[in-house]
Amino acid sequence: MVDGNYVLQVKNLSKAFPGVRALHNVSVDVKPGIVHALMGENGAGKSTLMKCLFGIYTPDSGEIFLNEKKVKFDNSKQALDAGISMIHQELLPVPLRSVMENLWLGRFPKYSIGPIKLIDHKKMYNDTVALFKDLEMEIPAKVWVRDLSVSKVQSLEIAKAVSQNAKVIIMDEPTSSLTEHEVSQLFTIIRRLRDQGVAIIYISHKIEEILNIADEVSIMRDGQHIGTFLSKDLTTDLIIKRMVGRDLTHRFPSKTNVPGQPILEVKNLTSANDHSFKDVSFNVRNGEIFGIGGLVGAQRTELVESLFGLRSVKSGTVSINGQETVIKSAAQAKLKKLALVTEERRVTGIIPMRSVKDNMILANLKKYVGKLGLIDERKGESDTQKSIETLNVRTPSIKTLIRDLSGGNQQKVLFARWFLTEPDILILDEPTRGIDVGAKYEIYNIIIGLAKEGKTVIMITSEMPELLGISDRIMVMCEGKVAGIVEAKDTTQEEIMRLATKFM
Ligand SMILES: Nc1ncnc2c1ncn2[C@@H]1O[C@H](COP(=O)(O)OP(=O)(O)OP(=O)(O)O)[C@@H](O)[C@H]1O
Ligand SMILES: [Mg+2]
């Protein structure tokens, strides 16, 4: 498309998995010193392409050129040595080692006393401090990685890539767990690296973010490369159109639910953990979509996990249908017809080595036990099949292991799992994180449909358009306290932001 020397060229790359053509004849050219975004629906093949570049997967056919030299990587070490680095979405550092040990793992500076080689801790420390200073990162060199925040771990991984002289740094959905402030810090680092000539390949579903940080955008659909465009020539609508292959004029379905009577009442609820939420009071009606907004760290997840019996509270009450209830476990919560879809699918959500079907019916096994105490496989299978169709889950079959699904498709299975329990109160924690625009729309449809049937939906989301577009009322939290409860139709983004920082 554009002239210039390329640092990385992919030519006619193809890769298939059993039952899936993940990449088909993909060609992409990446120039040095730019941010090259990669976009596409869930399962479009983005992560697979990156894993081929990084030596995790071997492509079936096609070629990769780095600085015009043909390369072939059998493992990630070879890719790293050649100058390609990847910041994984699931960060994988060694938690019980210090920051500096993580940074130099496998290449510790050494010195010799006679025949004995020893690790040069002093040099390692000095090199670490110098590197962080150079990148203007504030990370202590000697603390354990376990004690760092997600964003600091991410910075550490970026520093590692820089120290390995990476020419290409791949970032697969790097901002999904970052606060707004951390995102802007990350962007500062990305821009600095770009100006030093590093090529950044940046994968994200957040269109606003892409238009902000990317110079060029490659779009993938169904394992194929649709095209590469200059970011300044793109708009949100154009990106969506090229991603899904059709116009998607409305990002939100029209709302048809009518909130009724209060079903859940929370009074002065205070966490047993002194650093978490305090004195939270609100009620939610049936047929209502109740949004919970706030910045990362506002203790929203802690609050809903307490409602669901996963964390203990010190004081306050919870009533359902006018009856005071104490919920001490997820099993009790389920009996009360509550369901919770968690945000961290890898930690609390999926069982990687089980099938899509097993993962989907997990929360609802009772429903599938027949007269003789045996699981009614047929019913489980047909419900799974139905959910797959409704949510457009991309999977070769219901027997496929869930770990082989793309990130966004795993999230859809989790959503379906709880949806199948037919809850009265469905609590969603960041339900559309990592999910593409088309599937988001389907999920909104389901949420609105549930509310229309008189069910209650409580939804934590950090995406402002979603919070404003789907909720009836919005409770904004700040530092563990309720900063305000507003009618969605009467509020603005500015008011929500003001409330979200009210006690800071
Ligand atoms: N190890 C694997 N085994 C089998 N199928 C796989 C494997 N990895 C990926 N796939 C399949 O390849 C296709 C592309 O997946 P990929 O993870 O590249 O999508 P993606 O574009 O990164 O999507 P997302 O936005 O959801 O992360 C999907 O259909 C996925 O199920
Ligand atoms: Mg992916």
Across 140-154, 245-259, 446-460, the highest mean pLDDT is recorded for 446-460
User: Which residue has a Cα nearest atom 17 of ligand 1?
Assistant: 406
Q: What backbone torsions phi and psi does residue 475 show, to the nearest 5 degrees? A: -100, 125
The pTM score is 0.79
With a 6 Å cutoff on the Cβ, whether 407 touches ligand 1 is yes
Laid out side by side, the sheet with 224-230 consists of: 84-87, 168-172, 199-203, 35-40, 216-221, 224-230
Rounded Cα gap, residues 268 and 281, in angstroms: 5
Quick one: 201 and 259 in the same domain? no
**HEC profile of 283-321:** EEECCCEEEEECCCCCCHHHHHHHHCCCCCEEEEEEEEC
With a 6 Å cutoff on the Cβ, whether 42 touches ligand 1 is yes
Does some domain include residue 175?
yes
- Best residue among 10, 13, 20, 397 to mutate for probing ligand 1's pocket (most ligand atoms within 8 Å of CB) is 20
**What is the count of structural domains for the chain?**
2
Rounded Cα gap, residues 318 and 327, in angstroms: 9
Rounded Cα gap, residues 148 and 143, in angstroms: 8
Q: Is a pLDDT exceeding 50 seen at residue 106?
A: yes
Quick one: 256 and 333 in the same domain? yes
Q: What backbone torsions phi and psi does residue 92 show, to the nearest 5 degrees? A: -125, 40
Quick one: 470 and 504 in the same domain? yes
Quick one: 51 and 174 in the same domain? yes
Quick one: 315 and 192 in the same domain? no
CB 214 within 8 A of CB 191: no
Q: Is a pLDDT exceeding 60 seen at residue 401?
A: yes
Q: Is a pLDDT exceeding 80 seen at residue 89?
A: no
Which positions ≥6 away from 452 have C-beta within 8 Å? 256, 257, 258, 287
Residue where one domain finishes, among candidates 223, 244, 265: 244
Quick one: 70 and 208 in the same domain? yes
pLDDT digits 0-9 by tens, 310-319: 999 999 999 9
Q: What is the predicted pLDDT for the residue at 136?
A: 82
Q: Which helix (H) or strand (E) holds 326?
A: none
387-400 core/surface letters (b: 16 or more CB in 10 A; e: else): bbeebbbbbeebeb
- The pocket of ion ligand 2, defined by CB under 5 A, consists of 47, 406-407
Q: What is the predicted pLDDT for the residue at 3?
A: 43
Quick one: 231 and 291 in the same domain? no
How far apart are the CA of 362 and the centre of ligand 2, in A? Answer: 24
With a 6 Å cutoff on the Cβ, whether 417 touches ligand 1 is no
Give burial (CB, 10 Å; 0-12/13-18/19+) of 461.
buried
Q: Which residue(s) pair with 26 in the sheet?
A: 13
Residue corresponding to tokens 């479009």? 44
Does some domain include residue 67?
yes
How far apart are the CA of 49 and the centre of ligand 1, in A? Answer: 9
Does some domain include residue 37?
yes
Residue where one domain finishes, among candidates 244, 274, 304: 244
Does some domain include residue 71?
yes
Domain residues for the domain of 40 are: 8-83+166-244
Quick one: 275 and 227 in the same domain? no
In the DSSP assignment, the letter for residue 88 is -
Q: Is a pLDDT exceeding 90 seen at residue 227?
A: yes
Q: How many CB atoms lie within 10 A of CB 89?
A: 17
Does some domain include residue 153?
no
Q: Is a pLDDT exceeding 90 seen at residue 22?
A: yes
With a 6 Å cutoff on the Cβ, whether 439 touches ligand 1 is no
Atom of ligand 1 nearest to the CA of 44: 21
pLDDT digits 0-9 by tens, 445-496: 889 999 999 999 999 998 888 999 999 999 999 999 999 999 999 999 889 9
With a 6 Å cutoff on the Cβ, whether 203 touches ligand 1 is no
How far apart are the CA of 278 and the centre of ligand 2, in A? Answer: 37
Confidence tier at 440 by pLDDT (50, 70, 90):
confident
Does some domain include residue 373?
no
Share of the chain above pLDDT 90, in %: 57
User: How is 393-430 classified by DSSP, letter by letter?
Assistant: ---S-TTSBGGGS-HHHHHHHHHHHHHTT--SEEEEES
Confidence tier at 54 by pLDDT (50, 70, 90):
very high
Q: Which of 25-34, 387-396, 473-482 has the lowest mean pLDDT?
A: 387-396
- Best residue among 10, 41, 48, 353 to mutate for probing ligand 1's pocket (most ligand atoms within 8 Å of CB) is 48
User: Which residue has a Cα nearest atom 1 of ligand 1?
Assistant: 404
Residue where one domain finishes, among candidates 244, 273, 294: 244
Q: Find the CATH number of the domain harbouring 216.
A: 3.40.50.300
Does some domain include residue 200?
yes
Q: Is a pLDDT exceeding 60 seen at residue 204?
A: yes
User: Which residue has a Cα nearest atom 27 of ligand 1?
Assistant: 407
User: Which residue has a Cα nearest atom 16 of ligand 1?
Assistant: 45
